[in-house]
Amino acid sequence: MRIFHLSDIHFGLEDRAALDWAAAAIARERPDAVAITGDLTMRARHREFAAACDWINALDAPVTVEVGNHDLPYFNLWERFTAPYTRFHAIKARIECEIDLPGLAVVPLRTTARAQLRLNWSKGCVTRAALDHALHAIDSLPQGTRALVACHHPLVETGTHGTALTRGGERALAELAKREVLAVISGHVHDAFDLVHQTAAGPVRMIGAGTLSRRIRSTPPSFNMLTVDEAGIRVKVRNLEHVPTPEMLVPDVPENAMPPREEGEPVAPVHRIPEVDPPVH
């Protein structure tokens, strides 16, 4: 089974060349499913959702989408508090269809919040209710079906003690480890990674996809090709610049999607990738 794991397409600041290349790869290679782990838009504007919906609906594959922090109303605070997911769910209903993969289920886990008791609301948060919802879905799977948990924020990150990227993430990972999920796939940080996190209940594989937007962090636009068989999952980070996968994978989960830079260094200009025709097979 091949699943193309895309993330952070960020319509409003999308990279048209990267999107065209990814759509062509999907049309040519016909993966069994496409899993998009959030941040469909830049500012959750109606026109951005409409553009994302049109692009996703034109893909020649069954698709799942998760909600990202950029998909909650940004300018309309009233709507953000009273109906934070209405815009996203309207699009999700037009995009998703039943995914029928033998022995494998994509289980969503929500990591976004309309507000948090901290200044940075872009960070993740796994509420008890959201975790219970995902755990119930996993526990209800037919015998022998394995779960690939899909969420927007990586559930843990390195080097940010006290300002955790995702609150409740460690607890969630421990519960998922007990259920021996195949992996947790996510986005948000705009670089790809493939790591194993140790919890008290055992290890959990964490796989992150980069971005197909112009909002790149330290690697060119990319998506992950996940190949699933009896041995587990293999990850190939596909990118227009043909950078080998080991060089595309960052060694730790970064704190956010901002480009890394030295102290005092000005913010780097947006890096444009060269437009290259996709290889013909």
Footprint of Fe ion (CB under 5 A) = 8, 39, 68-69, 188
Give min distance, CB of 212 to Fe ion, in A. Answer: 10
Cross-strand partners of 185: 150, 207
Give min distance, CB of 100 to Fe ion, in A. Answer: 29
Number of residues in the chain: 281
Give min distance, CB of 153 to Fe ion, in A. Answer: 7
Closer CB to Fe ion, 92 or 179, in the complex: 92
Cross-strand partners of 167: 125
Closer CB to Fe ion, 173 or 216, in the complex: 216
Could you tell me the two tokens for 184?
């947790």
Distance CA 208, CA 204 (A): 13
Distance CA 232, CA 182 (A): 7
Q: Terminal CA-to-CA distance of the chain, rounded, Å?
A: 20
Amino acid present at 270:
V
Burial of 74 (0-12, 13-18, 19+ CB in 10 A): middle
Give min distance, CB of 233 to Fe ion, in A. Answer: 23
Closer CB to Fe ion, 4 or 11, in the complex: 11
Closer CB to Fe ion, 12 or 62, in the complex: 12
Closer CB to Fe ion, 186 or 199, in the complex: 186
Give min distance, CB of 270 to Fe ion, in A. Answer: 14
